[in-house]
Amino acid sequence: MLESLIPVLSIHQLRPRFQLDVALPPQEVIQRLSDLIQNPSSPCTGMVADLQGHIDLQIAKDERHTWSPSMSINVEAKDAGSYLRVLIGPNPGIWTAVAFSYLGLITGILFLVILGSVQLFLNKDAWAFQIVAAFTVLLIGVWIASRVGSRLATPQIVQLRGLLDSVLKE
């Protein structure tokens, strides 16, 4: 099953996205996913906002780890069926931490490069470039951590995708 999902669930993306056309009407899709979430033996938990056509699925708490994925599904009416936009990513808190780490480190690197250039221009000791090197190492560390986390989440991503496929069978 994993081999068939590799094009859709690329581990080279931190937050893979895909779309599905389903023959079921939007309310039926939302109801089936809601039933999955409310089932006590379900391997996932989540939240349904049926008026907005939005569903969030997560791995059950006892199986969840730091990099466990979250599946965000938007359901829209399309012809006689539904169009689903699906985004899979790490827990929103983890995703926010990674994004702000990138932002902070890149901003710091840019600031320190400018500072180091000014120090060189003024014939001063350009200590800012040493900090640029440290920030670059940290940036690479965050990138490696996100890749490792993505690989750790792959089995649970496949599990969520399999649940979605099984729920949407007609």
Residue 91: its pLDDT value, please?
84
Q: Could you report the per-residue pLDDT of 7-29, keeping only the tens digit for each?
A: 445 545 667 888 989 899 999 99
Instruction: Write the CATH number for 62.
Output: 3.30.310.220
* Residues 109 and 55 occupy one common structural domain: no
Alpha helices in the chain (DSSP H): 2-5, 26-38, 92-121, 128-167
Q: Is-contact 152 4, C-beta < 8 A? A: no
* Residues 79 and 134 occupy one common structural domain: no
Domain with 101 in it: 94-146
- Listing DSSP states for 113-132 in one string gives HHHHHHHHHTT---THHHHH
Give the integer Cα–Cα distance in Å for 45 and 66: 16
Residue 12: its pLDDT value, please?
57
* Residues 81 and 131 occupy one common structural domain: no
* Residues 85 and 120 occupy one common structural domain: no
Residue 9: its pLDDT value, please?
53
* Residues 75 and 31 occupy one common structural domain: yes
* Residues 41 and 86 occupy one common structural domain: yes
Residue 170: its pLDDT value, please?
63
Residue 155: its pLDDT value, please?
92
Per the structure, the count of domains in the chain is 2
Residue 97: its pLDDT value, please?
93
Give the integer Cα–Cα distance in Å for 2 and 72: 20
* Residues 82 and 103 occupy one common structural domain: no
User: Which residues pair with residue 48 across a beta bridge?
Assistant: 55
Collect all residues with Cβ–Cβ distance below 8 Å to 17 and sequence separation of at least 6.
Answer: 85, 86, 87, 88
* Residues 87 and 7 occupy one common structural domain: yes
Residue 7: its pLDDT value, please?
46
Q: Could you report the per-residue pLDDT of 18-58, keeping only the tens digit for each?
A: 898 989 999 999 999 999 999 888 888 899 987 888 999 99
* Residues 18 and 87 occupy one common structural domain: yes
Residue 83: its pLDDT value, please?
93
Q: Could you report the per-residue pLDDT of 96-153, keeping only the tens digit for each?
A: 999 999 999 999 999 999 999 999 999 999 999 999 999 999 999 999 998 898 888 8
* Residues 34 and 74 occupy one common structural domain: yes
Residue 5: its pLDDT value, please?
46
What pTM was computed for the model? 0.77
